[in-house]
A and B are shown apart, each in its own frame.
Chain A
Amino acid sequence: MDLMLCSGTGCVSNKAFRIKQALGDELHKHGLQEEVDVVLTGCNGFCARGPVLVVKPGEIFYQSLTEKQIPHLVEEHFLKGRPVYKLMFTPPDERVPVPVMGDIGFFSKQVLVALRNRGMIDPEKIDEYIARDGYGALGKALTEMTPEEILSEVETSGLRGRGGAGFPTAFKWRLCRESPGNSKHVICNADEGDPGAFMDRSIIESDPHSVLEGMTIGARAMGASQGHVYIRHEYPLARERLIKAIDQARDYGLLGEDILGSGFDFDVAITRGAGAFICGEETSLIASLEGRPPEPRVRPPYPTQSGVWGEPTNINNVETWANVPEIINRGGSWFSGIGTEKSKGTKVFALVGKVKNTGLVEVPMGITLREVVYDIGGGILDDKEFKAVQTGGPSGGCIPESLLDLPVDYERLAEVGSIMGSGGLIVMDEDTCMVDVARYFIEFLRGESCGKCTPCREGLGVMFKVLTDICEGRGTEGDIELLEDLALIVHDASLCGLGSTAPNPVLSTIKYFRDEYEAHIHEHRCPAGVCKELITFSIDEEICVGCLMCLKECPGDAITGDVKVAHSIEQALCTKCGACRDVCRIDGAIVVH
């Protein structure tokens, strides 16, 4: 027997989680825990009668449940087999023809933890956050728990850093806690620099207090009194909402001195960054926060020993902090119940590129990439062929179709040459040239390299040149091997994470799409029809109906023809922008060689 307990936001605010706890306790008491499963589901639309519970099989629908009713319900229905009529709901005759959220693929596979309040509260009103149990975890942490207990709860949860590297959060907290020093710092890294990624921005924009509450709890565990949010200048709305949130929290005494009357002091300041990718690296971020140029330094000493102004410092990213209040509220073992063996909880991804549904998704660890791309993303735009999915931003790798059933997990992604990263997920279709993609990321990284280490500064420059040569038809025998050699050196001889992961886009595209590199080098051909130097556009006069669409669109006036007269392209004038292909409505009329 399955008990489908709604955990949509409506039912949760009516204490659905307490019902779950009570059900679990009662079932256990009667020894029914093996036979009866309690399953959390998405919203089925009956929020007004929440918390609601559907018993399967039989579809018996219980509504407006309270904790007090649970012992009676369990004993009568699940032990003695007599459904409790007075708790049931008789549905009205007419059914709403609009689907429920649980039927929409985009929403049905998501599990919200870090994004638990997204779209539900006004982020500029602290009272609305409190209404959804906000700052409840802080109250618990400050009045019922010792710093050691907070730490062990986070340890039990198995939470790992969501910024990219996946370092165990509790381990880092402990190092900071045990470092000698009266003045300690916690930092929230909101300097999200991956192209196409917007997880952290969205969390701060929709729920800034969850981050502040997480930081305050962490600070308590580590004995830190100063908090910093390092946020990029390119995120004005997130910053504005964060400033308002900090002001409101201070007014309520949730930041500042003597928080909630506990005697604990903690406050948060905002530092603006100029949007440098290198600031994702801890020591660079700290340098920038102190007002110096962002360059990484040798570790040890680690920031947990010597960070901001030489004092013990712990850095976590936005999503990591946003998870902390829920771990304290619902317990570390609840959190570690979600996910895979080594990757616990959920992960937020920015799902972008050539998928039908783009947006921000939060999924349990262990979900397959195929589910993310096809069930949540809705498949490839215009029903084209899938080619690859890029995870982990510029430092990540491209994963091909054959590996789509890979579960999302820190270790498994690393095994195939990519990384979890901070959560960018770029889906590419058949019209994407993988050499061009590698070149794009190396160009980005070359620009973002701070220049301190020669292999990264010069190596990425040479790699970019080789990739450009290949894309422009000047590739020669041995280029692939040269790229592989350079990749190894840049990886091994760079000081920080930027350099050591920078070759990933090149290595993974060579590994899985070597044929595309070879086509560029040996046949001077771009199979995807992207690299301008290697393609020509022409019009098939048999197919062209002479509609003038491309002729009007061509920015170089390279197309000639007339109404109902087949058009043609003057090659000398063609800039290969592809505008004609985009506007042409006749299949096969525009030919790309």
Chain B
Amino acid sequence: MTKLRRDDLERIRKLMAKRMSLREGEATARVTVHMGTCGIAAGARKIMSAFLAAQGESTRNDILITTSGCAGLCSREPMATVEIEGEAPVKYVDLDEKKVKQIFEEHVLSGRIVEKLALAVGSERVG
């Protein structure tokens, strides 16, 4: 791969920032499964598989399933964050495969937050 220059960093940043905020990407929904050691120990791999299976079953190709590290609240793992284009992210806690199915159907596909499973809306304060 060609070595980057400083301008390239800015180019990648702009391109990726749009994609990550679901502004101009192909995806309109993103599910992030938190897979640090704590999440994995609590069963995050099963949660990941369940989301991937649900994605496979749906006919939509604009849903992105991705991973990230620990979200901080280890005692409530496994956790996942669901983001729908134009809306604030929602964190779900204490997940199991059954809950994943419900979240996928109601929130990811139909856009209705599953209130009883959600911890909070929004993201954390930086700096």
Known: A12-B126, A206-B36, A206-B68. A359 touches B74 (CB 8 A): yes
Stretch from A35-43, A161-169, A394-402, A535-543 contacting the other chain: A35-43
B59 within 8 A of A: no
Contact B121 A98 (CB under 8 A): yes
**Chain B residues whose CB sits within 8 angstroms of the CB of A206 once the complex forms:** 36, 68-70
Stretch from B1-9, B49-57, B96-104 contacting the other chain: B1-9
A147 within 8 A of B: no
Contact B12 A43 (CB under 8 A): no
Bound-state CA distance A235–B127 (Å) is 28
Interface flags for A492-510 (1: CB within 8 Å of B; 0: not) read 0000000000000000000
**Chain B residues whose CB sits within 8 angstroms of the CB of A359 once the complex forms:** 38, 70, 72-76
Contact A357 B75 (CB under 8 A): yes
Contact A131 B75 (CB under 8 A): no
Contact A43 B1 (CB under 8 A): no
Report which residue of A107, A198, A258, A261 has the largest number of chain B beta carbons within 10 angstroms of its beta carbon: A107
Contact A252 B4 (CB under 8 A): yes
Bound-state CA distance A64–B57 (Å) is 37
Bound-state CA distance A123–B16 (Å) is 14
Contact A357 B124 (CB under 8 A): no
A302 within 8 A of B: no
Contact B89 A47 (CB under 8 A): yes
**Chain A residues whose CB sits within 8 angstroms of the CB of B74 once the complex forms:** 358-360
Bound-state CA distance A135–B11 (Å) is 12
**Chain B residues whose CB sits within 8 angstroms of the CB of A44 once the complex forms:** 122
**Chain B residues whose CB sits within 8 angstroms of the CB of A7 once the complex forms:** 125-127
Contact B37 A45 (CB under 8 A): no
Contact B86 A128 (CB under 8 A): no
Q: Which of A299-325 contact B (CB under 8 A)?
A: none
**Chain B residues whose CB sits within 8 angstroms of the CB of A261 once the complex forms:** 3, 5-6
Stretch from A110-118, A280-288, A546-554 contacting the other chain: A110-118
Q: Which of B54-68 contact A (CB under 8 A)?
A: 66-68
A32 within 8 A of B: no
Bound-state CA distance A314–B117 (Å) is 47
Contact A330 B127 (CB under 8 A): yes
Contact B36 A111 (CB under 8 A): no
A265 within 8 A of B: no
**Chain A residues whose CB sits within 8 angstroms of the CB of B16 once the complex forms:** 127-128, 130-131
Residue of A nearest to B34 (CB): A119
Number of A-B residue pairs with CB-CB distance less than 8 Å in the complex they form: 206
A403 within 8 A of B: no
> How many residues of A are counted as interface, with CB atoms below 8 angstroms from the partner's CB atoms?
77
B118 within 8 A of A: yes
A326 within 8 A of B: yes
Bound-state CA distance A133–B126 (Å) is 13
**Chain B residues whose CB sits within 8 angstroms of the CB of A119 once the complex forms:** 32, 34, 68-72, 81, 124
A414 within 8 A of B: no
Q: Which of A428-463 contact B (CB under 8 A)?
A: none
Q: Which of B4, B20, B68, B86 contacts A260 (CB 8 A)?
A: B4
**Chain A residues whose CB sits within 8 angstroms of the CB of B91 once the complex forms:** 101
Q: Which of B9, B37, B87, B118 contacts A237 (CB 8 A)?
A: B37
Known: A46-B88, A251-B1. A102 touches B122 (CB 8 A): yes
Bound-state CA distance A357–B120 (Å) is 15
Bound-state CA distance A237–B38 (Å) is 11
A207 within 8 A of B: yes
Shortest C-beta distance, A87 to chain B (Å), equals 19
B113 within 8 A of A: yes
Shortest C-beta distance, B52 to chain A (Å), equals 15
B110 within 8 A of A: no
Bound-state CA distance A425–B47 (Å) is 29
B115 within 8 A of A: yes
**Chain A residues whose CB sits within 8 angstroms of the CB of B32 once the complex forms:** 119, 122
Q: Which of A46, A205, A207, A356 contacts B37 (CB 8 A)?
A: A205
Known: A48-B87, A133-B13. A326 touches B127 (CB 8 A): yes
Q: Which of B9, B12, B120 contacts A101 (CB 8 A)?
A: B120
Contact A118 B122 (CB under 8 A): no
Report which residue of B3, B6, B123, B127 has the largest number of chain A beta carbons within 10 angstroms of its beta carbon: B123
Bound-state CA distance A206–B33 (Å) is 12
Shortest C-beta distance, A415 to chain B (Å), equals 29
Bound-state CA distance A118–B5 (Å) is 26
7 more CB-based (< 8 A) A-B contacts, given A43-B88, A238-B37: A47-B88, A99-B120, A119-B34, A128-B20, A261-B6, A357-B73, A359-B38
Contact sample, A vs B, 9 pairs, CB 8 Å cutoff? A7-B127, A47-B21, A100-B121, A119-B71, A136-B13, A205-B69, A237-B40, A253-B3, A254-B4
The 5 A-B pairs with the shortest beta carbon distances in the complex, nearest first, are: A206-B69, A253-B3, A131-B16, A42-B125, A43-B122
